[in-house]
């Protein structure tokens, strides 16, 4: 797959109230272009319509903003295209207040008879969720056709807020009746919603490509759902909306990118310039944060997109593009080492979200597994059940991955070919029989009657700083090891905490003798943790737990772990390969995050009430970095790019490269050419 999307993009939000006047009054095409160029921007997504529902071009289908006296989109579009800047065009889809005010019957309705979506009450400020099963979809198709007809040279169509609730409007009630579905059943309402959403994808994509068959189209829902492959045929590429300060956090993008990179689509990372999230005027992220976020996008194989919001006057904010420019200047010089780069990884995380179809962007099992591997600098990708397992030395099934017969057969073939499985909690357990699907080298019983319990890890995987049992905050499965190696002993508490008997502020202490059950087992090609250790790490973040998991993983995988380093847990490492250029590129990332602020109320749909914001401000240099990398090809040099500085390194006959880097700040790229 060859790259075609630009690396330095801006998503220019323009959700503008009808109560604001003089829309576009300060728009100057030359100033608009110069400001974008000052920020090194080479693509900007421009608005045809917004969540308020108004149009910013001359429309016969919708309604132009009541206080816009000219064709603003045409002025923006012609100016940027003349300057060689790409211009995809945005249309609101899932929410539209203009349409809902004209046709309130087109709004999505809950089973309780209330409005669904962001603004549920008629006196609540916010945008109105529309139902795609109503005539609203006809209007939306007409708007898309009109935009493509008027702007055939646009570089794509971006549709926003793509979701369909289990709606009970009159059209959905009628369609459920016609299909023999029972609207009183939640599962039937969900099925109808899925079918309505499929109809949306079909009709809107067809409308966008009716005049121009290869028109790029992206449907945004704020998260690329893992495992939802059936909708990918409607997408030309993937944009990974992930604003760390806007509710997604700094762990979401690596998880999303490591999955999306395996879907054979170009990917774009989307952050924001805002201190908080979308809709914020006058909020500025520190330039160092944006530098780090863009470096992370490049490392994970994505192009860079920064969200901005245009003032109603139509004038771009100079401070914003100075901040964006600091990051995009660095992106521009790094691009040659990021074009057509493919991830190289040792571990494939078989996603809980993908297999179990949970649909939530913060699946705790996936999040915890990703955090452990990121913080341990273990190289990984995120997979669904349809992806190729063969490139990975080990597959990790975190906590609750339910294995059906088809997946079992695929995993059996993977094991037979020499692969390894890492299981935890209920993963790999038949919940009907409470038995393991593979020989774990242990007798497996049901869940423990105690929670929490305690583990004293075996010496081989015990954190260096503990010698006594550590608390495990989630319920384990009872296993007795009969073969292989135990991961440690479980110590039960004296009793569970309830009103009849409790001790101290939290939980009851451990009994002095082990229970006779074990914390996990390594048997042949399978490593099994009896607790849902990854969800636990996502929830509690206990360092001792991560060390226990990581030491067990490293011992289990042995020399198939490709990378060893002395980087701190807050640093990130990604290895990619540019096959056509015969080189590996090792990306190093480091920026300390700090939780700042107190309770903050944000409305408008993106997020609600949050306790604090994770902020990057200071970029602290790391020094004396040691890296040991195992690759199969011969290497004669290692260079720090884009500086081109040759780094001291040593190679062994076994393909092991040892590199030392004196220092780096924020990010570094190590180029490792190999023989053609």
Give the CATH number of the domain where residue 664 resides: 2.60.40
SS3 content of the chain, % helix, strand, coil (to 5): 30, 25, 45
What pLDDT score does 453 carry?
Answer: 95
Per the structure, the complete domain to which residue 659 belongs is given by 564-673
Q: Assign 604 a pLDDT band (cuts: 50, 70, 90).
A: low
Is residue 478 within 8 Å of residue 517, measured between CB atoms?
yes
Whether residue 616 sits in one domain with residue 541: no
Which segment of 144-153, 324-333, 580-589, 602-611 scores lowest on mean pLDDT? 602-611
Q: 3-class DSSP state for residue 329?
A: helix
Whether residue 570 sits in one domain with residue 550: no
What pLDDT score does 601 carry?
Answer: 67
Q: For residue 600, tell me if it sits in a domain.
A: yes
Whether residue 501 sits in one domain with residue 363: yes
CATH number at residue 381: 3.40.50.880
Domain count, the chain: 2
Nearest to 556 by CA among 519, 530, 527, 520: 527
Query: Which residue among 561, 578, 604 closes a domain?
Result: 561
Q: For residue 340, tell me if it sits in a domain.
A: no
Whether residue 403 sits in one domain with residue 542: yes
Is residue 422 within 8 Å of residue 378, measured between CB atoms?
no
Is residue 451 within 8 Å of residue 419, measured between CB atoms?
no
Query: Which residue among 527, 561, 595 closes a domain?
Result: 561
Q: Assign 231 a pLDDT band (cuts: 50, 70, 90).
A: very high
| Alpha-carbon distance values, 465 to 368, 462, 470, 567 (Å) | 22, 8, 11, 19
**What DSSP character marks residue 337?**
G
Q: Residues 373, 374, 377, 381: what is their CA dihedral angle, to the nearest 10 degrees?
A: 70
Average pLDDT over residues 57-77: 98
Pair type for strands 217-219 and 238-241: unpaired
Nearest to 576 by CA among 337, 321, 385: 337
Whether residue 474 sits in one domain with residue 444: yes
Encode pLDDT of 637-664 as tens digits.
999 999 999 999 998 877 799 999 999 9
Is residue 574 within 8 Å of residue 300, measured between CB atoms?
yes
pLDDT at residue 609 is higher than 60? no
Q: For residue 669, tell me if it sits in a domain.
A: yes
**306 forms bridges with which residues in the sheet?**
10, 271
Which segment of 244-248, 270-274, 299-303 scores lowest on mean pLDDT? 244-248
Q: How many residues does the chain have?
A: 676
Average pLDDT over residues 297-305: 98
Q: For residue 442, tell me if it sits in a domain.
A: yes
Encode pLDDT of 407-419 as tens digits.
999 999 999 999 9
Average pLDDT over residues 599-626: 78
Please give the Cα distance from 373 to 349 (Å, whole number).
10
Whether residue 439 sits in one domain with residue 458: yes
What pLDDT score does 193 carry?
Answer: 97
Tokens linked to 440: 């774990």
What pLDDT score does 2 carry?
Answer: 60
Whether residue 504 sits in one domain with residue 451: yes
What pLDDT score does 222 carry?
Answer: 85
Average pLDDT of the residues of the chain: 94
Nearest to 316 by CA among 91, 27, 79: 27
Q: For residue 447, tell me if it sits in a domain.
A: yes
Encode pLDDT of 556-572 as tens digits.
999 999 999 999 999 99
More confident residue, 223 or 473: 473
pLDDT at residue 64 is higher than 60? yes
CA count, 13 A, side-chain hemisphere, 639: 11
Backbone angles phi, psi at 472, to 5 degrees: -120, 115
pLDDT at residue 606 is higher than 60? no
What pLDDT score does 401 carry?
Answer: 96
Whether residue 554 sits in one domain with residue 414: yes
Q: Residues 655, 658, 659, 665: what is their CA dihedral angle, to the nearest 10 degrees?
A: 100
Query: Which residue among 541, 561, 581 closes a domain?
Result: 561
Average pLDDT over residues 341-367: 88
Whether residue 576 sits in one domain with residue 533: no
Tokens linked to 118: 């962001």
Encode pLDDT of 494-517 as tens digits.
888 888 988 898 999 888 999 999
Q: For residue 541, tell me if it sits in a domain.
A: yes
The rounded Cα 205 to chain-centroid distance in angstroms is: 24
Tokens linked to 425: 């909690």
Q: For residue 30, tell me if it sits in a domain.
A: no
In 435-519, DSSP assigns E strands to 435-436, 442-447, 453-457, 470-472, 477-481, 485-486, 488-491
What pLDDT score does 603 carry?
Answer: 62
Whether residue 640 sits in one domain with residue 538: no
Asked whether the bond before 433 is cis by omega within 30 degrees of 0, the reply is no
Whether residue 493 sits in one domain with residue 351: yes
Q: What is the DSSP string of 191-246?
A: HHHHHHHHHHHHHHHHHHTSSSTT--EEE--SS--TT-GGGGGG-SSEEEE--GGG
Nearest to 511 by CA among 498, 495, 499: 495
What pLDDT score does 607 carry?
Answer: 57
Whether residue 464 sits in one domain with residue 384: yes
Q: For residue 250, tell me if it sits in a domain.
A: no
């Amino acid at each position: 797959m060859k790259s075609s999307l630009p690396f330095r993009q801006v998503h220019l939000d323009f959700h503008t109230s009808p109560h604001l006047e003089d829309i576009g009054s300060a728009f100057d095409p030359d100033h608009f272009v110069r400001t974008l160029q000052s920020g090194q921007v080479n693509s900007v997504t421009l608005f045809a319509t917004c969540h308020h529902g108004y149009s910013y071009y001359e429309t016969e289908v919708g309604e132009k903003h009541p206080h816009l006296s000219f064709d603003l989109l045409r002025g923006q579009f012609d100016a940027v295209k003349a300057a060689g800047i790409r211009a995809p065009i945005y249309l609101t889809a899932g929410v539209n207040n203009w349409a809902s005010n004209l046709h309130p019957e087109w709004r999505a309705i809950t089973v309780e008879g209330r409005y669904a979506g962001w603004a549920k009450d008629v006196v609540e400020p916010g945008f109105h969720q529309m139902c795609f099963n109503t005539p609203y979809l006809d209007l939306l198709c007409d708007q898309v056709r009109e935009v493509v007809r008027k702007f055939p040279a646009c570089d794509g169509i971006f549709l926003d807020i793509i979701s369909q609730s289990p709606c009970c409007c009159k059209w959905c009630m009628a369609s459920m009746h016609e299909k023999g579905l029972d609207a009183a059943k939640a599962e039937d309402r969900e099925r109808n919603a899925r079918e309505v959403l499929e109809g949306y994808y079909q009709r809107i994509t067809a409308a966008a490509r009716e005049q121009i068959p290869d028109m790029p189209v992206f449907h945004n829902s704020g998260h690329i759902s893992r495992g939802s492959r059936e909708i990918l045929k409607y997408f030309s590429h993937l944009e990974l909306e992930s604003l760390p300060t806007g509710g997604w956090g700094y762990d979401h993008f690596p998880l999303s990118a490591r999955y999306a990179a395996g879907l054979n689509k170009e990917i774009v990372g989307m952050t924001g310039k805002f201190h908080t999230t979308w809709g914020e005027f006058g909020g500025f992220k520190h330039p160092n944060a944006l530098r780090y976020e863009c470096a992370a996008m490049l490392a994970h194989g994505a192009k860079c997109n920064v969200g901005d919001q245009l003032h109603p006057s139509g004038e771009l904010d100079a401070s914003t593009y100075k901040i964006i420019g600091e990051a995009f200047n660095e992106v521009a010089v790094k691009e040659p080492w990021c074009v057509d780069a493919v991830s190289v990884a040792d571990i494939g995380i078989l996603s809980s979200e993908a297999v179990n179809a949970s649909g939530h962007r913060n699946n705790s099992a996936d999040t915890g597994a990703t955090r452990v591997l990121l913080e341990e600098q273990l190289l990984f990708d995120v997979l669904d059940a349809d992806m190729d397992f063969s490139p990975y030395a080990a597959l990790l099934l975190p906590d609750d991955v339910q294995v059906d017969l088809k997946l079992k057969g695929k995993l059996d073939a993977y094991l037979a070919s020499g692969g390894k499985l890492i299981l935890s909690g209920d993963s790999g357990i038949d919940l009907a029989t409470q038995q393991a699907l593979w020989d774990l080298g242990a007798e497996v019983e049901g869940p423990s009657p105690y929670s929490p319990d305690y583990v004293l890890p075996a010496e081989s995987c015990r954190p260096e700083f503990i010698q006594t049992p550590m608390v495990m905050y989630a319920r384990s499965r009872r296993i007795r090891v009969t073969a292989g190696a135990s991961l440690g002993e479980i110590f039960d508490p004296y009793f569970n905490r309830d009103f009849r008997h409790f001790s101290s502020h939290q939980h009851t202490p451990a009994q002095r003798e082990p229970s006779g059950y074990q914390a996990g087992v390594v048997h042949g090609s399978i490593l099994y943790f009896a607790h849902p250790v990854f969800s636990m790490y996502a929830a509690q973040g206990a360092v001792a737990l991560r060390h226990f998991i990581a030491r067990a993983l490293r011992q289990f995988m042995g020399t198939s772990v490709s990378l060893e380093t002395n980087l701190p847990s807050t640093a990130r490492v990604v290895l990619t390969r540019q096959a056509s250029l015969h080189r590996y590129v090792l990306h190093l990332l480091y920026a300390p995050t700090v939780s700042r602020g107190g309770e903050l109320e944000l409305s408008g749909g993106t997020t609600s009430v949050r306790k604090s914001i994770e902020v990057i401000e200071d970029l602290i240099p790391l020094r004396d970095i040691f890296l040991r990398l195992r690759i199969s090809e011969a290497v004669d040099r290692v260079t720090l790019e884009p500086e081109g500085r040759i780094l001291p390194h040593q190679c062994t006959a076994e393909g092991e490269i040892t590199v030392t880097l004196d220092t780096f700040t924020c990010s570094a790229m190590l180029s490792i050419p190999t023989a053609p």
